[in-house]
Amino acid sequence: MTSTISNCISAISAKAAAALKPLTLITVFLACTLTAFAAAPSNKSLSGTYIFQFSMVYQANWSNSKTCTYPGVTHTFTAGGEDVNTEVVYGTITFNGEGRITVNYTDAHGFNVNASDDTVSITCPAKSTGSPGINNGHMVVNGPEAGSGTGTYSVSSNGTGSFSNSNGPILFDLGGINSEGIAQTLILRSPESDNNQGTGVAFHQ
């Protein structure tokens, strides 16, 4: 620890140190001391239960097809639509400090692709040269659905990390680390490669 403090203070040039007031030098010394004592973030930086909310905004697409048969010819018609959906997941995440999580959540307003597809209707035209009657349908979303699961997490020394369960990975940044080294806040986000981009926040209880 002594070498860490020395290295920290030596970063201040002699000329700059001479220009600083004694009180300022004391402040710098205390900051160096705290840096020396502070442990790098790790899996132990997450412990206990956090409440969270995570929102995803994505393009929802639905469609259906119908084949119409006439003497000597067959036509297949397809119809459907698209809309923007906002899905919200909220609940609690419990970290055990050693890389394991337990999640209890409610998923609200999730896109129901099968039910949306079923809203599309196509009526075959009377003649093969006619136009079909088409109703492109509409988006259907689910009501609140409760769920739970377990998974794993990891924290890097730079204060970033990720956790994952059956729903896939979520990235996070640690914030508000207390005197015991436990993060009080998590800023959540989807991986950049994820088509359904989302953001959220979690607070230690």
Express each pLDDT in 92-136 by its tens digit: 999 999 999 999 999 999 999 999 999 999 999 999 889 999 999
- Asked if residue 91 lies in contact with residue 52, where contact means CB atoms within 8 angstroms, the answer is yes
Does the pTM surpass 0.95? The reply is no
Residues 50 and 24 placed together within one structural domain of the fold: no
pLDDT in tens, 8-55: 545 544 444 455 555 454 444 444 444 444 579 999 999 999 999 999
Residues 70 and 108 placed together within one structural domain of the fold: yes
**182 SS3 class:** coil
Residues 29 and 110 placed together within one structural domain of the fold: no
| pLDDT recorded at residue 196 | 72
Residues 52 and 139 placed together within one structural domain of the fold: yes
| pLDDT recorded at residue 166 | 75
- Mean residue pLDDT of the chain comes to 85
| Backbone angles phi and psi of 30, in degrees to 5 | -65, -40
Supply the Cα-derived Rg of the chain in whole angstroms. 28
Residues 158 and 189 placed together within one structural domain of the fold: yes
Domain that holds residue 152: 43-204
Residues 172 and 109 placed together within one structural domain of the fold: yes
Residues 143 and 51 placed together within one structural domain of the fold: yes
Residues 101 and 141 placed together within one structural domain of the fold: yes
Residues 60 and 131 placed together within one structural domain of the fold: yes
Residues 33 and 48 placed together within one structural domain of the fold: no
Question: Is 80 exceeded by the pLDDT of residue 140?
Answer: yes
| pLDDT recorded at residue 31 | 46
**117 SS3 class:** helix
Residues 134 and 178 placed together within one structural domain of the fold: yes
| pLDDT recorded at residue 39 | 77
Instruction: Give the residues across from 71 on adjacent strands.
Output: none
Number of domains in the chain: 2
Residues 156 and 93 placed together within one structural domain of the fold: yes
